[in-house]
Amino acid sequence: MNRRSFAQSFGGAVALSALVSSSGLGESSSQTPGKMMAITAHPGDGLFTMGATLAQQISRGGSGVLLSLSLGERGAPKDIPVPRYGEMQRTATEKATRLLGTEAIFLAYPDAEIPFSEEGALAVCDVIREHKPDVIVTHWSGSWHKDHQNCHLIVRDAVFYAGLGTLVRSRPAHSVSKVFYADNWEDATNFVPDTYLDIEAIYEKWMQACDFYPMWRGQTGFFRYNDYYSSLSIMRGCLSGFKHAVALMSDPGQRMVRSRSL
Ligand SMILES: [Zn+2]
C-alpha cells in the first residue's frame, strides 16, 4: 500500500460513514461522506461483499462507483454458454448498481485469467484518476482465488500510481484517502475485520440488488450466497450492536494514530 499517499492525505475527509470500531463499540460518523469506489474481480463479489457498503455511502449523501475487472462469465452453469452468461452478468450488474444509485464500469479481462500486470495496474490507476474516489473497497489478499489475489495486488499498485504526481498519464494524480477490504467467504485467510458498518437503512435494497444475479439464488452452483451473506450481516450486526452490519478490514497502512497522550 502507498503509505505516502495516506500520509499526504492525512487529515482529509473520512468518507466511510457511520463506522463503528470493534473495540468497545465506540461509534464514529462522518459529516460529509465522499465518493467510494468498489473494485472487484467479478461482479457477484462486487454486489454481495461490497454492494451494501456502496449503498450505505450513497444513502448518507456520498456517491459510489463499482469497477469490475471481468464479467465473471466462467461461473456459467452447464446449460448457458459462457459468452451468454457474461452478458447476463453485465445486465444484472447494471440493474443492481442502478437500484443502489451507483455507476458500473467493466474492464475486459477474461474471468479466471485476470493478470497481475503493470498494464492492469495502470488501467485501474486511470479509472481512479478519472473518478477520484476518497475511499476504495476491494478484495483482501488472503484468497484461494487467483483473480481475487491479483485484483488485490492490482489495486495496491493502482492506488500508488494514481497518487504519484510524477507519473504522467492522461489525467492528473489523485490520492485515495482510505482503502478497506471486504468480507468475502473466498478471501477469509487472515481476514481480521476492524470496522463495522451499520447497513440497516439499505439492507432490503441491497438484498433486492443481489437478487438480480442467478448465482445469488444458487442457480449456478453449490454455494448458497443468499443464505451466507444475509446471515453474515446478522452475525456482524450481533458483534457491532446493529441489526445488520458489514465488517471491513482497514489497510494496515492507514491504522497509524498520532497522539500526544493516551
Ligand atoms: Zn470472485
* Cα of 45 from ligand 1 centre, angstroms: 5
Whether the CB-CB separation of 205 and 34 falls below 8 Å is answered with: no
Q: Where are the beta strands (DSSP E) in 129-183?
A: 135-138, 178-182
* Cα of 40 from ligand 1 centre, angstroms: 8
* Cα of 75 from ligand 1 centre, angstroms: 9
Tracing cell 457498503 back to the chain, one arrives at 53
Position 257 pLDDT exceeds 90: no
Q: Given 3-state DSSP classes, what are the helix, strand and coil percentages for the chain, each rounded to the nearest 5?
A: 45, 15, 40
* Cα of 112 from ligand 1 centre, angstroms: 9
* Cα of 235 from ligand 1 centre, angstroms: 22
The alpha carbon of residue 116 and the mean position of all alpha carbons in its chain are separated, in whole angstroms, by 18
Radius of gyration of the chain (CA): 17
* Cα of 191 from ligand 1 centre, angstroms: 16
pLDDT tens by residue, 160-197: 999 999 999 999 999 999 999 999 999 999 999 999 99
Residues 106-120, mean pLDDT to the nearest whole number:
98
Contacts of 6 (CB under 8 A, 6+ apart): 177, 178, 251, 253, 254
* Cα of 158 from ligand 1 centre, angstroms: 19
Residue 29 is predicted with a pLDDT of: 61
Residue 50: which pLDDT band, with cuts at 50, 70 and 90?
very high
Task: Tell me the whole-structure pTM to 2 decimals.
Answer: 0.89
